[in-house]
Amino acid sequence: MVKAYLRYEFSSAFGVISSSANPAYDASGKLLFTSALECISVWNAKQGSLVRTLSPVVASSSGGSGSSAAVAEVTVMTCAPTGSIIAAGYSDGTVRLWDYQSGDCAVTFKGHKSAVSSLRYHGGGALLASGGRDTDVIVWDVVGETGLYRLRGHKDQVTDLTFLPRQSKLVSCSKDGLVKVWDLDTQHCCQTVGGYKAEVWSLDVHPEAALLVTGATDDEIRMFAVRDPESADAGDAEPSTAAAAGTGTGAGGRDHTVLVAMGAVKRGAASHERVALLRFSGGGGWLAVQGAGRGLEMFRVRDEDEARRKMKRRKKRRKEKSSKKEKEGKGKGKAGAAADSDDEDDAAGVGAADDGEDGIKAGDVLEAVQLISSKHGKIRAFAFAPPAARLPAGVACRLALALATNQIEVVDVSSESPEYATSSRLELPGHRSDVRCLALSPDDSALLTGSSDALKLWNPRTGACLATMDSGYALSVLFVPGNKFAVLGTKAGSLEVYDLGAATRVHVEEGAHGGAVWSLAALPDKSGFVSGGADKSVKFWQWSVVTTAGAGAEGGGRSLRLAHSRTVAMADDVLSVRVSPDGRLLAVALLDATVKVYYADSMKFFLSLYGHKLPVLCMDISSDSTLLLTGSSDKNIKVWGLDFGDCHKSLFAHGDAIMSVAWVPGTHYAFSAGKDRLLKYWDLDRFELLLELPGHHGELWALGVSQFGDFVVTGSHDRSIRRWERTAEPFFVEEERERRLESLFEQDLENTAADRDAAALGGEGAEGGAAAPAGRRTLETVSAADSIIDALEAAALEMDRLRQADKEAAEAERAGKPPPRPLPINAVMGGMPPSAYVLKVVSGVRASELEQAVMLLPFADALKLLSYLPRWLEAGGPAVELTVRLAVLLVRLHQGALQTTAAARPVMLGLQRRLRRAAQGLKDVVGFNMAALGHLARRARERDGGTEADGVAGVKRQLMGPA
Is the pLDDT assigned to residue 237 strictly greater than 50?
Answer: no
Is the pLDDT assigned to residue 925 strictly greater than 50?
Answer: yes
Q: Dihedrals φ, ψ of 808, to 5°?
A: -65, -40
Residue 612, C-beta contacts closer than 8 angstroms, at least 6 positions apart: 593, 594, 630, 632, 634, 636, 638
| Mean pLDDT across 528-535 | 96
Confidence of residue 235 (pLDDT cuts 50, 70, 90): very low
Confidence of residue 597 (pLDDT cuts 50, 70, 90): very high
Confidence of residue 847 (pLDDT cuts 50, 70, 90): confident
Q: What is the pLDDT of residues 163-187, one digit of tens each?
A: 998 889 999 999 999 999 999 999 9
| Mean pLDDT across 664-687 | 96
CA of 53: how far to CAs of 67, 98, 903, in Å? 19, 11, 54
Q: What is the pLDDT of residues 354-376, one digit of tens each?
A: 444 568 888 889 998 888 888 88
Q: What is the pLDDT of residues 552-566, one digit of tens each?
A: 444 457 889 999 999
Sign of the Cα torsion 16, 19, 24, 29 reads positive
Residue 667: Cβ within 10 Å count: 14
How far is it, in rounded angstroms, from Cα 336 to Cα 325? 10
Whether 686 contacts 2, CB under 8 Å: no
Q: What is the pLDDT of residues 140-164, one digit of tens each?
A: 999 888 888 999 999 999 999 999 9
- Decide which of 2 and 569 is more confident: 569
How far is it, in rounded angstroms, from Cα 836 to Cα 872? 8
The beta strand positions in 56-186, using DSSP E, are: 74-79, 85-90, 94-99, 104-110, 116-121, 127-132, 136-141, 146-152, 158-163, 169-174, 179-183
Tell me the residue type at 753: A
Confidence of residue 64 (pLDDT cuts 50, 70, 90): very low
- How high is the pLDDT of residue 946? 60
Q: What mean pLDDT is reported for the chain? A: 85
Q: What is the pLDDT of residues 798-807, one digit of tens each?
A: 888 888 888 8
Is the pLDDT assigned to residue 342 strictly greater than 50?
Answer: no
- How high is the pLDDT of residue 269? 65
Sign of the Cα torsion 606, 611, 613, 619 reads negative
- Decide which of 942 and 97 is more confident: 97
Which DSSP string do the residues of 703-764 spell out, in sequence order? EEE-TTSSEEEEEETTS-EEEEEEEEEEEEHHHHHHHHHHHHHHHHHHHHHHHHHHHHHTTT
Going by the DSSP 8-state scheme, the letter that residue 18 receives in this structure is: -
- How high is the pLDDT of residue 749? 62
What percentage of the chain reaches a pLDDT higher than 90? Answer: 54
Confidence of residue 879 (pLDDT cuts 50, 70, 90): confident
Is the pLDDT assigned to residue 11 strictly greater than 50?
Answer: yes
Residue ranges of alpha helices (H) inside 328-404 are 333-339, 343-348, 362-365
How far is it, in rounded angstroms, from Cα 527 to Cα 534? 24
Q: What is the pLDDT of residues 851-869, one digit of tens each?
A: 888 888 898 998 899 888 8
| Mean pLDDT across 540-555 | 71
Whether 775 contacts 147, CB under 8 Å: yes
Q: What is the pLDDT of residues 282-329, one digit of tens each?
A: 888 999 999 887 789 999 999 888 888 888 888 888 888 888 877 776
- Decide which of 744 and 681 is more confident: 681
- How high is the pLDDT of residue 764? 43
How far is it, in rounded angstroms, from Cα 299 to Cα 287? 5
- How high is the pLDDT of residue 352? 39
- How high is the pLDDT of residue 753? 57
How far is it, in rounded angstroms, from Cα 654 to Cα 762? 38
- How high is the pLDDT of residue 241? 37
- How high is the pLDDT of residue 244? 40
- How high is the pLDDT of residue 46? 87
Going by the DSSP 8-state scheme, the letter that residue 265 receives in this structure is: E
Sign of the Cα torsion 606, 611, 616, 620 reads negative
CA of 40: how far to CAs of 55, 146, 389, 914, in Å? 7, 23, 21, 46
Pick from 198-202, 416-420, 486-490, 620-624: least confident: 416-420
- Decide which of 349 and 581 is more confident: 581
Q: Provide the pairing of β-strand 721-732 with 770-772.
A: unpaired
- How high is the pLDDT of residue 78? 95
CA dihedral 90, 96, 102, 103 (to 10 degrees): -20
- How high is the pLDDT of residue 208? 87
pTM of the model: 0.84
Is the pLDDT assigned to residue 951 strictly greater than 60?
Answer: no
| Mean pLDDT across 210-228 | 92
How far is it, in rounded angstroms, from Cα 933 to Cα 579? 75
Confidence of residue 245 (pLDDT cuts 50, 70, 90): very low
Is the pLDDT assigned to residue 334 strictly greater than 70?
Answer: no
CA of 615: how far to CAs of 203, 675, 807, in Å? 51, 15, 82
- Decide which of 448 and 960 is more confident: 448
- How high is the pLDDT of residue 355? 43
Q: What is the pLDDT of residues 255-291, one digit of tens each?
A: 678 999 999 998 876 667 889 999 999 888 999 999 8
Confidence of residue 921 (pLDDT cuts 50, 70, 90): confident
Confidence of residue 69 (pLDDT cuts 50, 70, 90): low
The beta strand positions in 451-494, using DSSP E, are: 454-458, 465-470, 474-479, 485-490
- How high is the pLDDT of residue 209? 84
**Hey, is 10 helix, strand or coil?**
strand
| Mean pLDDT across 815-833 | 81
Confidence of residue 348 (pLDDT cuts 50, 70, 90): very low
Half-sphere exposure of 825 (CA within 13 A, CB side): 5
How far is it, in rounded angstroms, from Cα 463 to Cα 926? 47
Question: Which strand (E) or helix (H) includes residue 52?
Answer: strand 49-54
The beta strand positions in 153-217, using DSSP E, are: 158-163, 169-174, 179-183, 188-193, 200-205, 211-216
